[in-house]
Amino acid sequence: MKQLRKHLSVALLGVAGVFVIPAVAPLSLAVAATSVAGLPDFTDLAEKAGPAVVNIRTVERVKTSQSGSSAQDEEMQEFFRRFFGAPLPQLPSPRNRRSNPGAETEEQVPRGVGSGFIISADGYIMTNAHVVDGADEVFVTLTDKREFKAKIVGADKRTDVAIVKIEGSNLPRLVMGDSEKIRVGEWVMAIGSPFGLDNTVTAGIVSAKARDTGDYLPLIQTDVAVNPGNSGGPLINMRGEVIGINSQIYSRSGGFMGISFAVPIDEAMRVADQLRTTGKVTRGRIGVQIGDVTKDVAESLGLPRAQGSLVQRVEPGGPAEKAGVEAGDVILKFNGTSIERSSDLPRLVGATKPGSRSTLTVWRKGAMRDLSVNIAELEADQAVVAQPQKPKGPRTANALGLVVSELTPPQLKELKIDGGVLVDLAEGASARAGLRSGDIVLRLNNTDVKDVKQFNELVAKLDAKKTALLLVRRGDSSQFVTVKPLSP
């Protein structure tokens, strides 16, 4: 999602940020969708699934001065903005007008309305984490108008999944499907509370699978109409099974524009199981910073195709460093599972139990090798390594347009590297490629750089018709940069 914010804003679906999501438990909706004039019939699906979809509203307790204005309901504020072009006037509460001017009172302020669905007959409900985030109290309303005060069991912001619990028995529930088996083009249905309109049914098709919009979430893209208030509601296939939790939309206006996203139910259920058991989610980590493997990088490294995760930085003392992973490696497999895109790695590692041993298959200098790594628990980001000081002294620019100098022994020790050269000046092709003073060149094509003399000799032998690949370190990160040598 982040990369698309340049043109489109991503709206989390919920009036004032609320959505309900489906979780565990099997309840088979033996529904056969019939076709009318070649189109699917959703009537039976809606009738069977509707009672298990709930409305979620949240409130926040805030302190207000008795001389000031009380907080206004966000939906009413939105109404005034849309139709009158101005916010709702702030008026003192009647009960406060005769009170002590300086006193403070605590009031319950509505935060928003979202959706959710029941995953077990004893009252566990799945929804989005952003629906209940910051809420002091959560209320769940069923289709039969019964209202329950809910307890937040746990929420995971990384996947936007939350579980809440109400006290009940023999409640209607939805059956979970298999989001791995969905097909682009198949019909799906959503139920939720857009703009607070309970149990609203909309339908469409799956537009795409596994959209990269976050570190841990390959989202399902659909054209099902979802709007603020739909967040947390179920995305249901024609067999009556939940395959996703409606979570986000692309929008320039805040309303539906034809593209919506759902959290795959397989991912959501893995999170939900941990939330129900421990109230939190534990993830693995190996301590690397990664980037994409572009076509140019793959060709320069001799990879058959562009795949894997490019290691840009290895955390000092972290699991990856202890396993022998180096900056510039390309991780191709994790425990035998191929890494097609860089975003695949954190998902696979995150789903691995901390303390277990795993195998990384890496590409280094034209060959594959297996490394054994001990998975650690995901924690706060580590401190970055200080950038080295640039030594003085004139140097001659080489065919890559680089003026480089030696790294001192203290600098090599501080950076925990065995060799490399420091860039004093980058001009021409190197400057256009993004290199700058202070960068450190660690490798040229598949050869490690030891010192200035060796580096300039390697540059002098480059074929001017081929692009050179430099492994460059900047601060605490490393990445490959392609540069076209100057013709002699």
For 221-231, give one letter per residue: b (16+ CB within 10 A) or e. bbbbbbbbbbb
Determine whether the annotation assigns residue 230 to a binding site: yes
Does residue 381 carry a catalytic annotation?
A: no
Determine whether the annotation assigns residue 73 to a binding site: no
- Three-state DSSP state, 231: strand
Q: Which two tokens stand for residue 387?
A: 């950038």
- Three-state DSSP state, 267: helix
For 443-456, give one letter per residue: b (16+ CB within 10 A) or e. bbbeebbeebeebb
Does residue 136 carry a catalytic annotation?
A: no
> Looking at 133, 156, 160, 198, which residue is catalytic?
160
CA dist 235 to 71, 141, 202, 204, Å? 34, 19, 10, 10
Determine whether the annotation assigns residue 232 to a binding site: no
Among residues 350, 432, 314, 25, the alpha carbon closest in space to that of 159 is found at 350
- Three-state DSSP state, 265: helix
> Looking at 115, 130, 133, 179, which residue is catalytic?
130
Determine whether the annotation assigns residue 160 to a binding site: yes
Neighbours of 466 (CB within 10 A): 12
Strand partners, 60: 109
Q: Rounded to 5 degrees, what angle do the CA atoms 190, 229, 11 make? A: 95
Does residue 7 carry a catalytic annotation?
A: no
Question: CA–CA separation, 56 vs 72, rounded Å?
Answer: 19
> Looking at 120, 193, 231, 478, which residue is catalytic?
231
Q: Which residue has the tokens 């009960």?
A: 95
Mark the binding-site residues, compressed into ranges. 130, 160, 229-231
Mark the binding-site residues for substrate, compressed into ranges. 130, 160, 229-231
Active site members: 130, 160, 231
